[in-house]
Structure 1
Amino acid sequence: MKALTANRLSDGEVVFWKAGAWVERLADADVFAAEDMAATAETSARAQPTVAIDPYLIDLVETAGFWTPVSYRERIRALGPSNHERHGKQADGGDAVEALRHAHGAARSSGRVNLIRRK
């Protein structure tokens, strides 16, 4: 499963794609099972260059009944900022936020694994 994410240009907020528009919560985002549907959404998002910058697809896994990013980096972005639990999206609380906090997975998404080579 995949979701589409980017940063909103007006304030830098992490946003997610839903039905042709950007939303702030991952729990509200469209989840794509098919690669062609995800690619179509990404193309549509890139057609809105004045709203959000550099949209890209992220891998998701189901955790506690919610979709959460596989990548630790993307989990931080979905909760962010991470400087204090009373700041950002995590301050709202709820089941979706708890699922993000307790999710497990790879340090990097599958599409970016080869970017860093460890010795």
Structure 2
Amino acid sequence: MKALTGNRLTDGEVVFWKAGAWVERFADADLFDDAAAAEAAEADAKAQRTVVVDPYLIDLVESSGLWAPLSFRERVRALGPTNHPHHGKQAEGGSAIEALQNAAGAARSSGRVKLIKR
């Protein structure tokens, strides 16, 4: 399973792909279990060069019955700043946030590694 992420150019906010547009919450993101569909969405996202910078696919892992980014880095990006649990997106709480906080996984996702190798 994969999701598509990037940073919005206007304010640097972490955003996720949903139905051809960008949303701020990981819980609202489209999740791809088909590699071809994920790559097609990534191509569409990269065509929006004036909206986000370097969109890329991230690997997901099941957590608390929901999906969460596999890499720690991507979970931090999805939760917001880690300086205090009452700041950022994590302050909203709920089952999607709990799944992100309780997920475990690798240091890097394969999508990010591909981006770094470019």
Could you state the TM-score of these two structures normalised by the residue count of structure 1? 0.91
Name 1:40's counterpart in structure 2. 40
Q: CA deviation at 1:4?
A: 0.2
Per-residue CA deviation, residues 44-73 of structure 1 (Å, 9 max, x unaligned), is: 001111111100000001111211011000
Name 1:56's counterpart in structure 2. 56
3-state SS, counterpart of residue 40 of structure 1: helix
Report the identity percentage. 70
Name 2:69's counterpart in structure 1. 69
**Residue 114 to residue 18, structure 1, CA distance change in 2 (3 Å):** closer
For the 8 Å contact 1:27–1:66, the answer to whether it is kept is no
Q: How does 1:71-110 map to 2 (within 5 A)?
A: 71-110=71-110
Per-residue CA deviation, residues 25-47 of structure 1 (Å, 9 max, x unaligned), is: 11110001111100100010011
Larger Rg computed on CA atoms: 1
Q: CA deviation at 1:83?
A: 1.2
2-structure distance, mates of 1:114, 1:106? 15
3-state SS, counterpart of residue 3 of structure 1: strand
Gap runs ≥5 in structure 1: none
For the 8 Å contact 2:56–2:111, the answer to whether it is kept is no
The question of 1:29 aligning with 2:47 is answered no
Matched residues, number: 116
**Residue 112 to residue 12, structure 1, CA distance change in 2 (3 Å):** closer
2-structure distance, mates of 1:67, 1:42? 19
For the 8 Å contact 1:68–1:99, the answer to whether it is kept is yes
**Residue 30 to residue 114, structure 1, CA distance change in 2 (3 Å):** closer
The list of structure 1 runs, each at least 4 consecutive aligned residues, that deviate by more than 2 angstroms after superposition, is 110-115
For the 8 Å contact 1:2–1:31, the answer to whether it is kept is yes
Gap runs ≥5 in structure 2: none
RMSD of the alignment, in Å? 1.8
Q: CA deviation at 1:78?
A: 0.4
- After alignment, is 105-114 or 39-48 more displaced? 105-114
